[in-house]
Amino acid sequence: MPIILRLDRVMADRKMSLNELAEKVGVSNVNLSKIKTGKVSAVRFSTLEAICEALDCQPGDILEYKKD
């Protein structure tokens, strides 16, 4: 997949755990873990917005496009 999720890197930079982020975003740990590991085919804009707000980042910090 040419879209790579870098949520794990941003979380590490902010020293935020999966549980803490899930609580702030209002998403279950399981769903957030799937986003973190890239095992999703879609992310809602509302979820992306909440993640960016909680981590004080831009969507481009989390999403990366790589040509195959």
12 assigned to some structural domain: yes
Using the 8-state DSSP alphabet, how is residue 41 labeled? S
38 assigned to some structural domain: yes
- Domain with 55 in it: 3-59
- Tell me the CATH number at 51: 1.10.260.40
47 assigned to some structural domain: yes
Global pTM reads 0.90
For residue 25, the model assigns a pLDDT of 95
State the residue for tokens 């803490």: 20
- How many domains is the chain partitioned into structurally? 1
65 assigned to some structural domain: no
Cα separation, 41 vs 58, in Å, equals 20
Residue type, 29: N
64 assigned to some structural domain: no
Per-residue model confidence as pLDDT tens for the chain (68 residues): 689 999 999 999 999 999 999 999 999 999 999 999 989 989 999 999 999 999 999 999 999 999 87
Cα separation, 25 vs 67, in Å, equals 30
Compute the radius of gyration of the chain from its Cα atoms: 11
For residue 68, the model assigns a pLDDT of 78
